Amino acid sequence: MPGPYLLHPSGSITKVYRLYWDYNFAFVESVTDGINGTHIPVTGLALTDASSTLSVAVPSRLYYPPPSSERPLSGKRLAVKDLYDVKGLRTSGGNRAYRAMTDPATDTAPALQKLIDLGAVVVGKTKTTQFALGERPTADYVDQLAPFNPRGDGYQHPQVSSCGTGAGVASYEWLDFGTATDTGGSVRLPSQANGLFGMRITNASLPLDGILPLTPIFDTPGLLSRSAKLLQTAYNAWFPSTPYKSYPKRIVLPEEFWPTVNKTSMPIYTSFIQTLAEFLDAEVVTMNTNASFNAYSNTTEGISQYLGLTYSNITNYDQYRLLAVPFKTRYEAKFGRAPYWNPVTRARWTRGASLPLSSYSSATDHYTLYQSWYRSQLTPTCENSLVLYPMGAGTEDYRDTYVSPPSPIFGAGYPGTQMAVMAALPDYTVPIGERTYFSRVTERNETLPVTIGIVGAAGCDGMLMDLVAEMGDKGLLVGEVGAGTSLYN
């Protein structure tokens, strides 16, 4: 392929890489392609004064042929969350002890390998909260420094376990997209905080092999990007979706989530919902979903009370047994002492160790009933309905806010993000505007992303991708956001 290339005195010829400074601390490792599908760690700095950060080696796009039907992601630079195995690299899950214990992976996680086969170029591994458990910077991070969210004043929470991917994609124009995982929100919450396009997929659409687990019941791989069009290309090639005949003709607004608590963002939401309704020629329906669920389940307690600790009981129970126990056993056998776990990890795994099977079984029963209700009453088919909720209203969430002690509970009750988790449905986080606020950091006005969540029927991932991309093409929303402090540079 075309150059540039470097001719060495030995006569060998190698590719040329540009080193980019990771000034927002998003990456744990820079990598390049090796032989036979392996990847090789890269050390080197773009600057002599790099402030303890990495530099990421990025190859020229000239080395790669134009995208094709077989390789639609040819030459697109991909960051990989450090939960995915990459052949030749160690997986750390945000934990120094786990990294020290493990050998370089002998295979790449199949879901990631599919993206590589489609032409994506892995340029590095990005930070994750420890074992994908939600942590707050700077209170809960011990084994590493939390990435910096570039939006607004640069000191907002980058959000949950895919924080490194979210911060990296939002910060750097040279990075096209990145992998994430969404168990309870870690595709959608970093998309919300960093102002990106990101979708949780229908459960079981992709293999989970080679990805550190929380629970196979909720775990889903995913992607984040600044471009709705690139995300559409990637998702539609990554796995098959259910064919659909038309876009939905009904938009459901659950009363439990509307209007958003932050009233200053409501005009942005109202404008988007009206635009979407006109584009789809759809009816907008406000629904009391609590009443609908009570009637369906023959209960009176409502969704929040019914679900209660369902998410935490399942994730605490499964991850303790699937990850914590074998990790501790292997580490003690190798080093003769127990490993260190961050405070949130310790709290969640301590709870998981004490949970009885009856709590787990009851939680899975509640999950199953909720899923049955939601799929039958709200999103029965691709063509029937979309459910919308205010994903992020552009509200300040400073990274130096301390919450103590760390809670063993996550996702209790019924936040909007739990709808797709419990119903095992695709949920697309879409940036639709910005809210202006006065920053206590910069002492001036700044802007933060306003995002909406769009839930579709099971298997209708491609329909959601096509819908948002088409709205971008028609100028009904901005289909590609910028990198840096603002979405709209």
Contact 14, 63 (CB under 8 A): no
**Residue 115: what pLDDT?**
98
**Which of 302, 300, 295 shows the shortest CA–CA distance to 255?**
302
Q: Model confidence at 104, in pLDDT bands (50, 70, 90)?
A: very high
Contact 410, 134 (CB under 8 A): yes
**Quick check: 411 pLDDT over 80?**
no
**Residue 440: what pLDDT?**
98
Does some domain include residue 483?
no
- Give the mean model confidence (pLDDT) for residues 60-66: 93
Rounded Cα distance, 323 and 341, in Å: 12
Helix (H) or strand (E) holding 18: strand 17-21
**Residue 409: what pLDDT?**
84
Indicate the pTM of the whole model: 0.97
Tell me the two tokens of residue 186.
């870690």
Poorest-pLDDT segment among 351-360, 364-373, 405-414: 405-414
**Residue 141: what pLDDT?**
94
Domain count, the chain: 1
**Residue 412: what pLDDT?**
79
Q: What is the DSSP code (8-state) at residue 265?
A: G
- Kindly report, residue by residue over 5-20, the tens digit of the pLDDT: 999 999 999 899 999 9
Does some domain include residue 373?
yes
Does some domain include residue 77?
yes
**Residue 10: what pLDDT?**
96
Contact 378, 424 (CB under 8 A): no
- Give the mean model confidence (pLDDT) for residues 239-259: 97
- Give the mean model confidence (pLDDT) for residues 20-38: 96
Sheet strands side by side (includes 121-126)? 39-42, 27-33, 121-126, 77-81, 177-181, 221-225, 197-200, 427-438, 445-455, 385-392, 250-254, 283-287
Does some domain include residue 327?
yes
Tell me the two tokens of residue 76.
């697109």
3-state secondary structure of 68: coil
CATH no. for residue 364? 3.90.1300.10
Poorest-pLDDT segment among 197-211, 326-340, 408-422: 408-422
Place of tokens 């039907």: 69
Contact 416, 391 (CB under 8 A): yes
Contact 184, 205 (CB under 8 A): no
Does some domain include residue 479?
no
Task: State the average pLDDT for the chain.
Answer: 96
- Give the mean model confidence (pLDDT) for residues 302-317: 96
**Residue 471: what pLDDT?**
98
- Kindly report, residue by residue over 466-489, the tens digit of the pLDDT: 999 999 999 999 999 999 999 998
Percent of the chain scoring above 70 in pLDDT: 100
Domain that holds residue 355: 5-473
**Which of 463, 464, 461, 388 shows the shortest CA–CA distance to 201?**
461
**Quick check: 432 pLDDT over 90?**
yes
Q: Model confidence at 305, in pLDDT bands (50, 70, 90)?
A: very high
> How many distinct helices (H) and strands (E) make up the chain?
14, 16
Beta-carbon contacts of residue 427 (< 8 Å; ≥ 6 apart): 188, 199, 200, 417, 419, 420, 453, 454, 455, 456
Tell me the two tokens of residue 326.
């074998």
259-274: b or e for each residue (b if 16 or more CB lie within 10 Å)? Answer: ebebeebbebbeebbe
Does some domain include residue 104?
yes
**Residue 474: what pLDDT?**
98
Rounded Cα distance, 272 and 275, in Å: 5
User: Which residues make beta-bridge pairs with 200?
Assistant: 427
Contact 471, 386 (CB under 8 A): no
- Give the mean model confidence (pLDDT) for residues 281-294: 98
